[in-house]
Structure 1
Amino acid sequence: MSGYQFIHFEAYSRSGGKSGRSVSYVLDEAERRPGATPHIERPRPPIVVYGTPIADLRSLHNERSAAARQEIAGGRLRSIRKDQLTLLTAVASHPTPCSAIAADPAAAAAVADWEQRTVDWLRQRYGDRLETVIRHDDEAYPHLHAYVLPDDSAMRASALHDGMAAKAASMHCPLPADPDERKARNRTGDRAYRDAMRFVQTSYWQDVGLPCGLARLGPRRRRLTREAWQAEQLASSAQARSLSGAKRIKEQGEAYVTRTKERCSLIYRKAHRVLQEAEARKEAAEAEWKAAASERAETQRLLAEARKSAAPAVSLGAAFGTVISAARETLTDRETTIRREAESAAQPAVAEAEKRMKDAENKAERAVQQLLEERQRSEALRASATAAADQRDAAWRRLAEIDPDFHPDTPKPQR
């Protein structure tokens, strides 16, 4: 459902000040305690979407407030005043009615996405100081309440409020004595307050409103005609779809690259394993060859010993010569037989090792080719993402044509 964003910030003290809305009152309303929500027909307990429950937040706030100290004249420390702002809150609302969320799954998904983006935006701004975010669904529109606790020793929530901090910085120097100059200085502070809050609203729109298809401002605030407002809503929806499509393409591309890397890694590991097996077979063949060579050496040694043993008997006559000749022939035949058997046994292992090494080299070449092809596909995906970014820029230019003051990176006038 189209519409415009809403987020509001406020800080509270323990005493409540002139408005009477104290920290305790605000937390009672958030917790839906009896008597704290007369404007709600059927109050329901809040749903914690981030951080601690309201009861724990209340205890933590009270403990820190009691322990907080501020420095006064002379460097002394004292307890903080009851009217000092100690809790910063933010309220964000979505334009889809609660009744539509229950009946339309698409609307429910859109609100859930808005809720998660809002929580992420708050966490990015306040970090660990963001203690609790709750959701109320017992009113006409779903809305979130966020609660931020200061982490400085004096618990100054005004320092976390962008508008208050900007105004205080612009009026830091001593105020002039002249009443007119005081008024002028105060107007300068008010402008700094408004500019800071416009910047916050623009930041929220860029990170949450725009991706969710919500406009930066409503039509009445800018006195837009119905046709201009509808055109802006169409442009916002188109921009949201473009951003969503670009994000989806990017996620798909990253997933494809991850799968490709995994496949290439698997191919590489398999090729490495085949190479190791080939090396092992080669080593086994070499060991068999060494064993055959050793047996050959042993045969030659026996032959030498036989010759040595037969040498003294040469003088005994021709009869012994016949015996020695027969022994020599027998040993030579044995040597030849052993060598041929060793070579015949080692040849298949060597051929198999050479074949596996060749197969491993072919697989490695194919893996490199696949890596090159995957890189080309990744480049194509990157080009698609660039085209989606061009569509987004075109949508921004369309918004600029509708609203001349619009710029995606510059705060726009508000209020």
Structure 2
Amino acid sequence: MSDRPQKSIFAHKQTYSMKGNSKSRSVRDIAHKNERLAGACPHVARPQPPIILEGMRPSAVVDLIESRVAEQNRILRGLRKERTARKDVLRAIRVDTHVLIASVFSFPDPVAEMDEAEYLRWRKDAMDFAREDAARNGAEVLSVIEHRDETHPHVHVLAVPICADDNMRMDAKRCHEGHREQDRHRESGWSGSPSRSYKQAMRAWQDRYHADVGARHGQSRTGPRRRRLDRATWKAERDRLEAQKAASIAIERAVEAKAIAEEAHARLQDEMTVTLASMIEDAETAHLIAEEGLIATLRHRRTDALLIDRLIAEPPVPMRTRRPEERIELNRVLQPVISDGLQRLHELLLVSWTRR
């Protein structure tokens, strides 16, 4: 096995306000950067239009946030008048209130060298993780964007808080593990910096991403240098992750193969049921004709009354009394139908015998 660099995860999540400040960009800045608008991403040498994988364009996310904030502020004004005792939790959503949760997940292989099938499997798992992560934190994913114009392909996920009784102000920090733990640190009066609790919570979030996504694709939690791993330990971990990745792919393929086989079996069963039911119905009809005659059979089958009246007025001529040319014509028309029916019956019986 070659001594290729070990692949490690990259996942980041942050919240943004409409206004922004010297330490953080605004919601609109993030949207413009993700949409690759002119001048919004100077770090990219040759910006290319993003690929919208799910939801709306980033700029449309900004418009929707502004609309929701305006509507929610109108609701909050009404509630403040009704519930004067809760004015503190019903105050208006300000421009510096964080209202967007933006996550980014990067694939470890460069665009020019990556295996497309492997990347697509990773991308699906990363998107599934992002949706589940938003749901468990009381947020809604509005846009998923892919960029391939940098060294490594990556996926951006834009989510907004869901208005609920415990988050009437659409506060994105309530939907972010790091900010929640930081606030809890302050409220509990714990020693040390609140930022320590923030970092611990986000490390736990990255641990979860690694367990759910990274490890399934042969990616380590961190690189070997950061953990000061010796060469033997690094190789052993790399081999373990590669084996885990291979096992994950094998399981996925087995599940897919099982689903395809079950679908084919169900389809065959349906076809056989329909065909056999039709054959039984034809046999019952032939028996009824022989026992009770054509007219009684048609009445039994609830055939159109006008057709029955016509048959009674003009009884069909029996086959044996028809002229030779009429019999030849009837044989010519019926022979292909009979042959097809016998062939289909033979196929069904063969399949039934094979499955025993």
Q: Give the Cα–Cα distance (whole angstroms) in 2 for the partners of residues 276 and 247 of structure 1.
A: 43
Give the counterpart of 2:20 among 16, 21, 29.
16
Q: Does 1:260 align with 2:271?
A: no
The answer for the alignment partner of 2:104 in structure 1 is: 91
* Contact in 1 for aligned 2:19/2:26 (Cα 8 Å): yes
1:3 alignment partner, SS class: coil
* Contact in 1 for aligned 2:103/2:156 (Cα 8 Å): yes
The CA deviation at 1:93 is 0.8
* Contact in 1 for aligned 2:107/2:119 (Cα 8 Å): yes
The answer for the alignment partner of 1:136 in structure 2 is: 147
* Amino acid aligned to 2:125: R
Following superposition of structure 1 onto structure 2, how do residues 385-400 of structure 1 map, counting pairs within 5 Å? none
Q: Give the Cα–Cα distance (whole angstroms) in 2 for the partners of residues 34 and 273 of structure 1.
A: 66
2:46 alignment partner, SS class: coil
Q: Alpha carbons of 1:30 and 1:366: their partners in 2 closer, same or farther (altered >3 Å)?
A: closer
Q: Does 1:113 align with 2:155?
A: no
* Amino acid aligned to 1:237: E
The CA deviation at 1:49 is 1.8
Give the counterpart of 2:169 among 128, 135, 154.
154
Q: TM-score, normalised by structure 2?
A: 0.69
Percent identity, please. 29
The answer for the alignment partner of 1:243 in structure 2 is: 248
Q: Give the Cα–Cα distance (whole angstroms) in 1 for the partners of residues 63 and 201 of structure 2.
A: 31
* Contact in 1 for aligned 2:32/2:59 (Cα 8 Å): no
Following superposition of structure 1 onto structure 2, how do residues 183-222 of structure 1 map, counting pairs within 5 Å? 183-184=190-191, 192-222=197-227
Structure 1 residues without counterparts, runs of 5 or longer: 102-106, 176-181, 292-359, 374-415
Following superposition of structure 1 onto structure 2, how do residues 329-340 of structure 1 map, counting pairs within 5 Å? none
* Contact in 1 for aligned 2:16/2:24 (Cα 8 Å): no
Q: Give the Cα–Cα distance (whole angstroms) in 2 for the partners of residues 122 and 133 of structure 1.
A: 9
Structure 2 residues without counterparts, runs of 5 or longer: 297-344
Q: Give the Cα–Cα distance (whole angstroms) in 1 for the partners of residues 190 and 274 of structure 2.
A: 76
Q: Give the Cα–Cα distance (whole angstroms) in 2 for the partners of residues 90 and 115 of structure 1.
A: 14
* Contact in 2 for aligned 1:267/1:367 (Cα 8 Å): no
Q: Give the Cα–Cα distance (whole angstroms) in 2 for the partners of residues 269 and 286 of structure 1.
A: 26
The CA deviation at 1:214 is 1.6
* Contact in 2 for aligned 1:5/1:205 (Cα 8 Å): yes
The CA deviation at 1:169 is 4.3
The answer for the alignment partner of 1:81 in structure 2 is: 94
The answer for the alignment partner of 1:226 in structure 2 is: 231
Q: Alpha carbons of 1:154 and 1:279: their partners in 2 closer, same or farther (altered >3 Å)?
A: same
* Amino acid aligned to 2:35: E
RMSD, aligned α-carbons: 3.2
Following superposition of structure 1 onto structure 2, how do residues 315-326 of structure 1 map, counting pairs within 5 Å? none
The CA deviation at 1:283 is 2.5
1:211 alignment partner, SS class: helix
Q: Give the Cα–Cα distance (whole angstroms) in 2 for the partners of residues 253 and 32 of structure 1.
A: 42
* Contact in 2 for aligned 1:50/1:119 (Cα 8 Å): no
Moved more, 190-199 or 143-152: 190-199
2:38 alignment partner, SS class: coil
Q: TM-score, normalised by structure 1?
A: 0.60
* Amino acid aligned to 1:277: D
Q: Alpha carbons of 1:237 and 1:271: their partners in 2 closer, same or farther (altered >3 Å)?
A: same
Q: Alpha carbons of 1:261 and 1:193: their partners in 2 closer, same or farther (altered >3 Å)?
A: same
The answer for the alignment partner of 1:100 in structure 2 is: 113
* Contact in 2 for aligned 1:268/1:367 (Cα 8 Å): no
The CA deviation at 1:254 is 2.4
The answer for the alignment partner of 1:308 in structure 2 is: none
2:45 alignment partner, SS class: coil
